[in-house]
Amino acid sequence: MRRRAFLGLAAAGSLAGCGYRSVDAEYEQPAGAVPKQYARRTRVVFWSSYGGANGKAIGKLVAKFNESQQDVYVEAQFQGSYDDVAQKVAASLIARQAPDIAVLSDVTWERFYLNDALEPLNGYFTDGFGPAVYQQKLFGEYVVKGQSWCVPFARSTPILYFNRDAFAKAGLPDRAPRTWSELRSWGPELARVQAGGRSLRSLALAKVDGDWQFQGNVWQFGGAYSNGLDVTIDQDGAVAAGEWQRRMVHDDGFAYMANSAMTDFANGLVAMVQDSTGGLKSAMSKAKFKVGAGFVPSEVAAGIATGGGGIGMLRNASPERKQAAAAFLAFLARPENSAWWTTQTGYLPVVNAAREDPALKKLIADEPNYGVAIEQLTNARKQDAIRLFGRNSNVVIYTGLQQIYADNASPRKVFGAVARRLEAIGDEVRRQYEEKVL
């Protein structure tokens, strides 16, 4: 089994299947100690999924918090990808030695909620830290049965990145295409531009995790992954989205499946890529051309999927550590800190007042790419339930997409098989979903 698929299975299944029970016992923290300069403070262990430039930004926020007060010491521990963090949190709960707070992705926090591993946050909210502070659409995704189970932090949507220099050489407008039909029509012009000794292709499609971007594409073509847990990926709208991508790859030769679409884009090997706004700063720093950013194209409808990470509190932390962790979450919710995180990464400003921060406003004025995701948020939607709550549904979907991209397989046939697997996955969680979500 591929490592990523294994991690997804472990993160999703280990709580329910390997002995974790919803008990109120206090669990120990992962090993570590409070440095001498912060002696006698309450230690909070924060598991993060952000490395590289984003990891450095996390480190600076944590250091700023530790210097801002005298009661709490936060220790940020990088644990790898979203899947890695989820798998390690699940294992830590079974071992009863868990972090106090952790970054949980759009498709992992639900599993911990269903298994009663998360602390409800309503009781920790204050005037400066609570529902009114956050962007409502993003905050609301974590509210179930009237309780908040995570707070938004590194939230994102896909945006369309495009090579402005290549567009100019091709004689195209200096903007993102407005529809997928328009994008396809630009293929011949882009193919006249040379890149790496061959004709420039229009679009790179992700080999792994492309199901997140494809969620929005399905909506744009009038379909859905599911209605609740009732699977609809094999119906006309989703099939039309898959057929459009199949034609771009195999009939037109304008698109291809990439191991790392953003790497190919930054190296000038492809004209456009649909990827997270969280990679914006990195893309602009690495590319040796002018990077443009625009709305993801629509077709018969508009709609993009929200994604990225929120921060959840583990219910088995001690009351003292929970209060200390809440103080850190409140610190991250300050407008200036939320705005600074956006300027350093490109992730959405999840705090309403952060949009009025002078530094962020100046950044957007100087570099409009940073404002695209904020403007596009009006088109954003919470993902379909089967991807969010179904164990390993994302892997099933992107494995199906790989068949279309690599093998020229019929989308209707592929999605028929995918639907059968998703239906079985949905049945596994349906009782919990109906009891705890509906």
pLDDT per residue over 104-154, tens digit each? Answer: 999 999 999 999 999 999 999 999 999 999 999 999 999 999 999 999 999
Cα 422 to Cα 419: distance, rounded to the nearest angstrom? 5
Query: How much is the pTM?
Result: 0.92
Question: Quick count: other Cβ atoms within 10 Å of Cβ 188?
Answer: 13
Nearest Cα residue to 120 out of 320, 326, 318, 315: 315
Query: What does the alpha-carbon distance between residue 47 and residue 75 come to, in Å, rounded to a whole number?
Result: 8
Residue reference for tokens 């697997």? 421
Q: How far apart are CA 384 and CA 151, in angstroms?
A: 20
Rounded Cα–Cα distance for residues 197 and 341 (Å): 39
At 325 the pLDDT is 98
Q: In whole angstroms, what is the distance from residue 33 CA to residue 46 CA? A: 13
How does pLDDT run across 331-361, given as a tens digit for each residue? 999 999 999 999 999 999 999 999 999 999 9
Ordered by where they begin, the domains of the chain are: 3-156+307-366 (3.40.190.10), 158-305+384-436 (3.40.190.10)
Question: At residue 40, what are phi and psi to the nearest 5 degrees?
Answer: 70, 15
Distance CA 53, CA 55 (A): 5
Q: Is the pLDDT of residue 379 over 60?
A: yes
